[in-house]
Amino acid sequence: MSRVHPQVRPGNRHYTLVCSSCGARYEDDGLILDCSRRHEPAFLRTEYDGTAEHTGTGLFRHARLMPVVRTFPDVPGPVVYRAGELGRRLGLTRLWIAFNGYWPERGAQLPTCTFKDLEAYTVLGRLPADPPVLVIPSAGNTAAAFAWASTRHQVPCLILVPAPALDGMRFPGPLDPCVRIVVLDGDATYSDAITCAELLALLPGHQAEGGSRNVARRDGLGTVMLAAAEAIGCLPQTYVQAVGSGTGAIGAHEAARRIRSGDEPLPRLLLCQNTPFAPLYEAWHSGGQARADREHEPLARELTNRRPPFTVRGGVREALCESGGDVLCADNEAALAAMALFEEIEGIDIEPGAGVALAALADAVRSGRVDRDELILLNVTGGGRARQAGDLALVPAVPWLRAVWTPGGEGPRAVAEQVGRQLSTATSGAGR
């Protein structure tokens, strides 16, 4: 059951949407994704009224800096702590961790074990009262977060994932029928799921959730920076995160811009990707493109976004330039070693993406790109999945449709046709 926040009321939103390119301002209806004026691709940003006051606990403690008209009870937020022993092993004196996952002893209770829960609940909190069906492509973690949040709060969505993602989609209970999961069988990738979603969002009564274009996604993920600044007492000097699209890093950067005091410097963004498929690394360092035929090879499949928002105004390149940041890489072997190190020292398992970030940070310390006395925030974007599976009786997701993936250019259209036929059948059956 959702509740309207006492200071965040439908019809009286406490923020305005502003175009990063032309400065056009919009009163939000909960669904706007783009500026209506003709110019270069540009993100909308949120501009909030008043001060960044905090009330309550969990994710919605920061509701005044979130584009929401309703909040949901009992949604946990990030857990931020100082990691002394791990820091010493890396050669760092001031390492802080933002842990996003399931770790009861630390108070971490994110239901699907990654920081994608933060964005899912924020997107749902932004929606109007009677929203269209949200169409959401995912490599797995975003799908799980939206599926469970939408189940709990009865928000219809159509989710597309490549087949390997289904293995990680297990929940504290069964999913509601309003959540329809389409699994792309065969060799389909995350990028293929994105292409399919673009077609399905054109169906009547459906709309693209928007990904990085959705201000609620970025600001929901940006609560990691808000929680960290509150726990540490200031902004970190350096922010380290594994990225696919870079949406979470942009959100952290935007959050830091909102809350910094005076001339306090913005945290330097160190964004981490998993070789051999690292589109943002290639774009930042050489202006080139990652080879699409290597998209299946990284350990951290959640980082394999072939079309990240690099050049868009307000996107990854701009955030890197403003923060004096860099893009780093780690291979599969290094990520596995980092995952084992974290579990050895901290006593909890972490996701491959978080292993990539930890491995890249360790390498940056060894090479001198990070000083031992820097105040560093490492975003552990997911963890505790194995621990949760041992603690809870989890229910595997049941696909609404398993679509046969056709290699080549006809794949997305063939999937869209299969989904259309299935929707027609479901509608006909409901009408009888």
Rounded CA-CA distance 327/246 in Å is 11
At residue 196, what are phi and psi to the nearest 5 degrees?
Answer: -60, -40
- Written as six digits, the tokens of 316 are 């990854």
Q: What average pLDDT score do residues 377-399 get?
A: 97
Q: Which residues contact 263 (CB under 8 A, 6 or more apart)?
A: none
Among 315, 263, 216, which Cα is nearest to 15's?
Answer: 216
Per-residue pLDDT at 57: 87
More confident residue, 389 or 10: 389
Local structure of 149: helix, strand or coil: helix
> What CA–CA distance (Å, rounded) separates 409 from 261?
51
Q: What number of other Cβ atoms are within 10 A of residue 394's Cβ? A: 15
Q: Which domains are present in the chain?
A: 79-113+215-389 (3.40.50.1100), 133-204+400-431 (no CATH)
* Token pair for 188: 């389909």
Q: Looking at 10-19, 76-85, 149-158, 413-422, which range is the least confident one?
A: 10-19
How far is it, in rounded angstroms, from Cα 144 to Cα 169?
6
Q: What pLDDT, in 10s, does the model give residues 322-371? A: 999 999 999 999 999 999 999 999 999 999 999 999 999 999 999 999 99
What is the structure's pLDDT at 407? Answer: 80
Please tell me the distance from the alpha carbon of residue 422 to that of residue 411, in angstroms, as a whole number: 17
DSSP 11: T
- Return the number of other C-beta atoms located less than 10 Å from residue 369's C-beta: 14
Closest CA to 147 of 354, 413, 395, 418: 395
CA distances from residue 288 to 172, 224, 249, 397 in whole angstroms, order as listed:
42, 31, 21, 38
Instruction: Say if residues 158 and 419 touch (Cβ distance below 8 Å).
Output: yes
Element spanning 115, H or E? none
For β-strands 102-103 and 238-242, DSSP reports them as unpaired
pLDDT in tens, 36-81: 999 999 999 999 997 667 778 899 999 999 999 999 989 999 999 9
CA 232 to chain centre: 23
Q: What is the DSSP letter of 311?
A: S
- What gap in Å lies between CA 32 and CA 261, rounded to an integer? 30
Chain segment 177-213, per-residue pLDDT in tens = 999 999 999 889 999 999 999 999 999 999 999 999 9
Instruction: Calculate the alpha carbon distances from 23 to 12, 13, 19, 126, 212 in Å.
Output: 21, 19, 5, 22, 19
The yes-or-no verdict on residue 418 having pLDDT over 70 is yes
The pLDDT value given to residue 429: 59
Residues 44, 32 contacting (CB under 8 angstroms): yes
Query: E strand or H helix at 157, and its extent?
Result: strand 157-162
Pull the structure tokens for residue 149.
């949040």
Cα 148 from Cα 378, distance rounded (Å): 26
CA distance 167 to 190: 15
pLDDT in tens, 364-374: 999 999 999 99
pLDDT at 293: 85
**Per-chain mean pLDDT for the chain:** 94
294/303 Cα distance (integer angstroms)? 13
Quote the CA–CA distance of 240 and 270 in Å, as a whole number. Answer: 5
Q: Which residue has the higher pLDDT, 377 or 291?
A: 377
Q: Could you tell me the pLDDT band of residue 10, with boundaries at 50, 70 and 90?
A: very low
pLDDT per residue as tens digits for the range 261-311:
888 999 999 999 999 999 999 999 998 888 888 998 999 999 999 899 999
**Per-residue pLDDT at 9:** 45
The token duo for 55 is: 């009330």
State percent of the chain over pLDDT 70: 96
Q: What is the pLDDT of residue 231?
A: 97
Backbone Cα Rg of the chain: 20
pLDDT of res. 158: 98
pLDDT of residue 426: 74
Average pLDDT of the segment spanning 229-239: 97
Residue 382 DSSP code: B
Choose between 250 and 288: higher pLDDT.
250
Which residues touch 31 (CB under 8 Å, ≥6 apart)?
127, 128, 131, 132, 207
